[in-house]
Structure 1
Amino acid sequence: MTELKIICNGESRLVSVNTTVAALIAELGLEQTQLAVELDGRVLTAEGLDNAMLTENSRLELIRFVGGG
Structure 2
Amino acid sequence: MQITINGETRSLAEGLDVAGLVAELGLTPDGIAVAVDHAVVARGRWQGRTLDDGAQVEIVTAMQGG
**With structure 2 as the length reference, what TM-score do the two structures score?**
0.93
Alpha carbon RMSD of aligned pairs, Å? 0.9
**Does 1:19 pair with 2:19?**
no
Work out the CA distance in 2 between the residues paired with 1:18 and 1:24. 10
Q: Give the fraction of aligned pairs with identical amino acids, expressed as a percent.
A: 32
Q: Which runs of 5+ in 2 are unaligned?
A: none
Q: Which runs of 5+ in 1 are unaligned?
A: none
SS at match of 1:62: strand
**With structure 1 as the length reference, what TM-score do the two structures score?**
0.89
For these two proteins, the number of residue pairs brought into alignment is 66
Does the 8 A contact of 1:33 with 1:46 survive in 2? no
SS at match of 1:68: coil
